[in-house]
Structure 1
Amino acid sequence: MKLIAPRDGPVVRRQSVWTRATHWLWAIALFFLLLSGLQIFMARPDLYIGTQSGFAFDNSIFSIGAVVENGVLRGVTDLFGHRFDTTGWLGAVWQNGQLVPQSFPGWMVIPTYRDLASGRVVHFFFAWVLGATLLVWLISSLVNRHLVRDVLPRGRDLKALPRDVADHVRLRLHHGRSYNPLQKVSYFAVLFVALPLMILTGLTMSPGFNALAPWTLDLFGGRQTARTIHFVVMLSLVAFFVVHIAMVVLAGPFNELRSMITGRMRIDPEETQP
């Protein structure tokens, strides 16, 4: 089982300064977007499909709340009509040694206390950072051909994808000059599906943007559906981040971090490349 690059492999320049800079800006922006987004979500911790929502409707597909049963506060989470006890994690969380009715613990939100206005300011600022960084990455990657050369999946990548997935499952990790098929497909999905979808659904929740581009409401089936899609994409990005970090650790964190800090990476000997 090979988890790190061989010592006798050559060190090559793998990442450009533009790729490295945008990578770390994305990491910072997504961190603050996640925690400030959860702060905003606490103002109405429910998700709906369709155009209507509110206290007059009982059509939520996901809801976080708190109930008092026999004088005891409990956190509850409803998902598609099924209720789960999430006391201490969601709905009713520990604060100063006692349970309080709050959707998320303080460490999961920015600010750490209930403050919708500040959460919105932080969220919108880093949303602009995310959008601008994505644009900078796209332009630079077109100019230096990083997009075509390293990210855009080709026919041979899709053909080799099942084998590459099997190698990752068996922890047979390769270190090449370019991304492997699974990396290409994953990065393409994040950069050209998840992030644009996150930005567009976020804009669709804005009444001002609806006035400018009302077609987005029809595209996503209403503001509430857009909000639900926004939340689901966020969860997908969190899952991607967890897997991404796990792969970095298993592939050799020093080598992988060096690649994203200095741009240089030790790869497998040429004769062992697939």
Structure 2
Amino acid sequence: MTEAEDLSTKRGPLVYRQSVWTRVTHWVWAICLFFLMLSGLQIFNAFPSLHIGQQAGFEFDNAVLKIGAVNTPQGPRGQTTILGQTFDTTGVLGMSGTAEAPQYVGFPGAVTIPSFRDLATGRVVHFFFGWVFVAALFVWFLASFINGHLRRDILPKGSDISGLPKDALDHARLKLHHGRSYTPLQKLSYFAVFFVLFPLIILTGLTMSPGMDAAWPWLLELFGGRQTARTIHFGVMVLLVLFFIVHIIMVLLAGPLNELRSMVTGWYRTSPDTPTEAGDKP
């Protein structure tokens, strides 16, 4: 009997695992991050390079990433330079579109909002969803602190640290356990997102605002300059995209219907060996 067939005959209790605050903010973040990423790439296209320091080099080269188009004997080509290593990225980065109507932009219009060059609209969309994202994060932190979700499911304990190697190995072997609370790997992953990546992307975003720099000049000192903040901002975005991809893969492997039910209704089907408690459903 396969594991799927075994679970169909032996089922653990339904437990109420996700509060309404967690569910609502989860979907708000998903929407916000989608629009933030695509509008962010529109903004990036206005200056498709990343630098370290306060300024983008004029008489010096402090770039860590450059995306653009160059003329070659074979004609224009897209080119991406990362830490001094240059790659031909024609058709993806620097130069995309068709041979009859090439687009000389960092990222193609298919992954930007708007899909055509419009920095002003991109900034409006980015800032709007950025503040919605911050508001949802504040609501989540407040609600999670009050209802105990933060202490119970996000902040790692000593047992989570010691249990991390085994849990990571179980995930690598696709031996996924459906419990009442998050596993050590989930806790540490969510802790890193909520307490490292989210604060970093918000603070570096604020550091790129001249108005915020005037009000909070310590931001520039904290991140070593506006261009460094922009580079960190982009890097954190890449890490969040990678987290999202892994998150979706794990949802599919763990049982998408059960995971989706958890984030829609709050009720989660646990593994057969989960003890039943008051308030559970069969």
Amino acid across the alignment from 1:22: T
Q: Bigger shift: 227-236 or 90-99?
A: 90-99
Match of 2:30 in 1: 27
1:184 and 1:177 map into 2 onto residues whose CA distance is 13
Query: What does residue 79 of structure 1 align with?
Result: 82
- Report the more deviating stretch, 115-124 or 59-68: 59-68
Question: What are the superposed Cα offsets for residues 24-46 of structure 1, whole Å, 9 maximum, x if unpaired?
Answer: 00000000000000000000011
CA distance in 1, matches of 2:191, 2:121: 33
The letter of the residue matching 2:224 is G
Residue of structure 2 aligned with 1:113, choices 88, 112, 116: 116
In 2, Cα distance between equivalents of 1:81 and 1:71: 23
Give structure 1 stretches of 5+ with no counterpart.
none
**Which residue of structure 2 aligns with residue 199 of structure 1?**
202
TM-score, normalization by structure 2:
0.93
Does the aligned pair in 2 maintain the 1:42–1:103 contact within 8 Å? yes
- Given that residues 76 and 87 in structure 1 are in contact (C-alpha distance below 8 angstroms), is that contact kept between their aligned partners in structure 2? yes
- Check whether the contact 1:40–1:116 (CA below 8 A) recurs between aligned residues: yes
Q: Offset at 1:104?
A: 1.2
CA–CA distance in structure 2, aligned partners of residues 78 and 214 of structure 1: 32
Q: Secondary structure at the match of 2:176?
A: coil
Kindly report which structure 2 residues correspond to 1:11-22, keeping only aligned pairs within 5 A, or say none.
11-22=14-25
Distance 1:62 1:272, change over 3 A: farther
Shift of residue 100, structure 1, vs aligned partner: 2.3
The counterpart of 1:251, out of the listed 251, 254, 277, is 254
SS at match of 1:123: helix
Q: 1:94 aligns with which of 80, 93, 97?
A: 97
Matching residue within 136, 139, 150 for 1:136: 139
Q: What residue number does 1:213 align with?
A: 216
Deviation, 1:151, is 1.1
1:231 offset after TM fit, Å?
Answer: 0.5
Q: Does 1:52 pair with 2:55?
A: yes
CA distance in 2: counterparts of 1:208 and 1:105, whole angstroms: 30
Match of 2:40 among 17, 34, 37: 37
Q: 2:280 maps to what in 1?
A: none
SS in 2 for 1:62: strand
Letter in 2 for 1:252: G
Q: Which runs of 5+ in 2 are unaligned?
A: 277-282
Q: Which residue of 2 aligns with 1:269?
A: 272
Q: Distance in 2 between matches of 1:167 and 1:146?
A: 24
1:188 to 191, 198, 222: 191
Q: Distance in 2 between matches of 1:83 and 1:192?
A: 34
Secondary structure at 1:190's aligned position in 2?
A: helix
Indicate the RMSD between aligned Cα atoms, in angstroms: 1.8
1:167 to 146, 170, 173: 170
Separation of aligned partners in 2, 1:84 and 1:38: 20
TM-score normalised according to structure 1 size: 0.95
- Count of aligned positions: 273
